[in-house]
């Protein structure tokens, strides 16, 4: 039966990896795989286990108990993501991200490269790398009309957004998973991974700034005016509310999703107040929709539910392998084959460029039993977060940029992969040096 489960997992994994080839959304194989794995485990009456982290061994438990346990842990991540996504959509409802356009006044291509790179690095740490990429490429399309030049900018945005998401507990789904699973604390994650991530951002950007395509200046076009007078207010309120979550968790020791729900409530309250203030009877004839749609309801219709369902499927599928002891056994075999865990983690990062980093990190959580804030977890956060930049399909940021700018897979492989690899290796070296000689 365990052989069937492993075969089903790899088959589902294959369909997820080949999403663009088979033209089937990855949430479908993820959900099917999750249901089938647990069904086979139940029908085969396989004994379920959970890892005793203190004794570092497996202990038997009932299937219903372990299923409910993993569903609860997965729900924590999903509810957290739902809250964060809704806040971002509320900001967008008020056209809050248009405020960022005010930072872009230069005509120099090199200066623009650094502005977009730094914005990608900072924004991704706050609103996650996927959303930061969408926001910045949307702005990029309004600033630069040259398609070839935009492709190079988009490639650097992907690399830098992934680097920025790696050091923040709210910057990437994988770091959020590690944080919620109590593998890392927010403060220690920032302390250990920030400098390697900065190096991972700086080196590719420095090299790219010497490219011929980034020399000279561009003709700036007139920016669209902000749609709402509350744009700036909602941007800073929303970003501040998201940043507040780690501090709330540190003070209260409550799960992160509780703080995210509080932040969502505050942002939603101000959104409703601002909408009501904007509403006037004279607007009704000019715009029948003015004031009648709650910004919160509107935001909820735009969140990425397919991504939420994908995370549900893949996390629960990996949980099944973990509960059967398969991941624990695999970890022991890997440690024997490759005694150096640094190499294992770097290979995991390279693997995340080919295979989605979410299941890889979910599997690593079940494979390793190191205590909270072990350098291993920080290195995994860095590698899984930045390694996906090496291929356009290796990260959510890359996939969304690919769709928005119609970036060719082989163009990215030729022009950007080597830059991402250099940044990834350089950041990894800095992390190891920081861990072994400084901290």
Q: What is the pLDDT of residues 17-31, one digit of tens each?
A: 777 777 888 889 989
Residue with tokens 């250099």: 422
Which pLDDT band, with edges at 50, 70 and 90, does 155 fall under?
A: very high
Q: Are 424 and 390 in contact (CB under 8 A)?
A: yes
Look at residues 409, 425, 423, 393 and name the one whose alpha carbon lies nearest to residue 26: 393
Residues 163/241, Cβ–Cβ less than 8 Å: no
Structure-token match 């930045």, residue found: 386
Please say whether the beta carbons of 382 and 166 come within 8 A. Answer: yes
Percentage above 90 pLDDT, the chain: 33
Distances, alpha carbon 335 to alpha carbons 327, 368, 420, in Å: 12, 10, 27
Alpha helices in 47-128 (DSSP H): 63-93, 109-127
Of residues 128 and 166, more confidently modeled: 166
Burial of 60 (0-12, 13-18, 19+ CB in 10 A): exposed
Question: What's residue 287's pLDDT?
Answer: 43
Count how many domains the chain has. 1
The residue-averaged pLDDT of 250-259 equals 90
Reference 246, options 357, 167, 315, 158; nearest CA is 167
Q: Report, as an integer, the average pLDDT of 88-115.
A: 84
Span of 22-36, 47-61, 74-88 with lowest mean pLDDT: 47-61
Residue 54 has pLDDT above 60, yes or no: no
How many CB atoms neighbour CB 364 within 10 A?
25
Return the pLDDT at 49: 65
What local confidence, expressed as pLDDT, does residue 299 receive? 85
| The residue to which tokens 């090299």 are assigned | 207
Eight-class DSSP state of 225: P
Closest CA to 193 of 430, 374, 371: 430
The CA distances from residue 117 to 50, 121, 122, 163, 288, in Å, are 43, 6, 9, 10, 41
Q: Can you tell me the distance from the alpha carbon of 319 to that of 120, in angstroms, rounded to the nearest whole number?
A: 33
Range with top average pLDDT, 20-24, 179-183, 259-263, 435-439: 259-263
| Backbone region of residue 56 per phi and psi (left: phi > 0; alpha: psi in -120 to 50; beta: other values) | left
Specify burial of residue 149 (Cβ count, 10 A radius: 0-12, 13-18, 19+). middle
> 262-278: per-residue pLDDT in tens?
999 999 999 988 887 54
Q: What is the CA radius of gyration of the chain?
A: 22
* Helix H or strand E encompassing 342: helix 341-351
Question: Coil, helix or strand for 373?
Answer: coil
Of the pLDDT bands very low, low, confident and very high (cuts 50, 70, 90), residue 205 is very high
| 355 pLDDT above the threshold of 80 | no
Phi, psi of 374 (to 5 degrees): -65, 140
Kindly tell me if the per-residue pLDDT of 107 is higher than 50: yes
b/e burial code for range 67-102 (CB count within 10 A of at least 16 → b): beebeebbebbbbbbbbbbbbbbbbbbbbbbbbbbe
Confidence bin at 286 (pLDDT 50/70/90) = very low
Confidence of residue 283 (pLDDT cuts 50, 70, 90): very low
pLDDT at 185 over 80: yes
Average pLDDT over residues 39-61: 68
Domain that holds residue 67: 2-438
- Distance, in Å, from the CA atom of 275 to the CA atom of 279, rounded to the nearest integer, reads 6
């Amino acid at each position: 039966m365990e052989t069937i489960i492993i075969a089903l997992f790899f088959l589902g994994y294959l369909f997820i990896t080949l999403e663009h080839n088979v033209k089937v959304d990855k949430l479908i194989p993820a959900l099917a795989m999750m249901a089938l794995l647990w069904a086979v485990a139940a029908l085969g009456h396989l004994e379920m286990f959970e890892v005793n982290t203190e004794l570092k061994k497996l202990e038997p438990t009932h299937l219903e108990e372990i299923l409910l346990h993993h569903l609860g842990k997965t729900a924590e991540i999903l509810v957290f993501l739902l809250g964060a996504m809704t806040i971002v959509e509320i900001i967008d409802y008020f056209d809050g991200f248009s405020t960022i356009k005010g930072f872009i006044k230069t005509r120099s291509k090199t200066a623009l490269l650094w502005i977009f790179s730094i914005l990608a690095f900072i924004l991704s740490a706050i609103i996650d790398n996927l959303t930061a990429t969408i926001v910045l490429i949307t702005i990029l399309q309004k600033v630069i009309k040259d398609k070839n030049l935009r492709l190079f900018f988009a490639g650097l945005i992907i690399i830098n957004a992934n680097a920025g998401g790696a050091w923040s507990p709210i910057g990437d789904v994988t770091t959020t998973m590690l944080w919620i699973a109590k593998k890392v604390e927010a403060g220690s994650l920032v302390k250990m991974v920030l400098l390697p991530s900065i190096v991972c951002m700086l080196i590719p950007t420095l090299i790219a700034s010497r490219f011929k395509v980034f020399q000279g200046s561009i003709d700036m076009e007139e920016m669209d005016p902000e749609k709402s007078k509350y744009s700036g207010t909602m941007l800073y309120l929303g970003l501040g509310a998201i940043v507040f979550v780690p501090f709330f968790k540190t003070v209260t020791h409550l799960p992160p999703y509780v703080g995210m729900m509080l932040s969502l409530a505050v942002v939603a309250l101000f959104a409703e107040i601002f909408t009501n203030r904007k509403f006037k009877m004279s607007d009704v004839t000019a715009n029948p929709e003015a004031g009648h749609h709650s910004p919160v309801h509107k935001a909820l219709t735009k969140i990425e539910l397919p991504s939420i369902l994908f995370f549900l499927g893949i996390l629960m599928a990996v949980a099944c392998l973990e509960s059967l002891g398969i991941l624990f056994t695999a970890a022991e075999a890997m440690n024997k084959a490759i005694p150096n865990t640094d190499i294992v983690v770097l290979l995991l990062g390279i693997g995340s460029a080919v295979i989605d980093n979410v299941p890889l990190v979910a599997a690593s959580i079940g494979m390793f039993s190191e205590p909270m804030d072990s350098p291993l977890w920080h290195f995994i956060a860095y590698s899984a977060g930045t390694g996906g930049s090496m291929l356009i399909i290796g990260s959510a940021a890359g996939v969304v940029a690919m769709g928005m700018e119609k970036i060719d897979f082989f163009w990215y492989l030729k022009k950007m992969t080597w830059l991402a690899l250099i940044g990834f290796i350089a950041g990894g070296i800095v992390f190891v040096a920081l861990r072994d000689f400084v901290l």
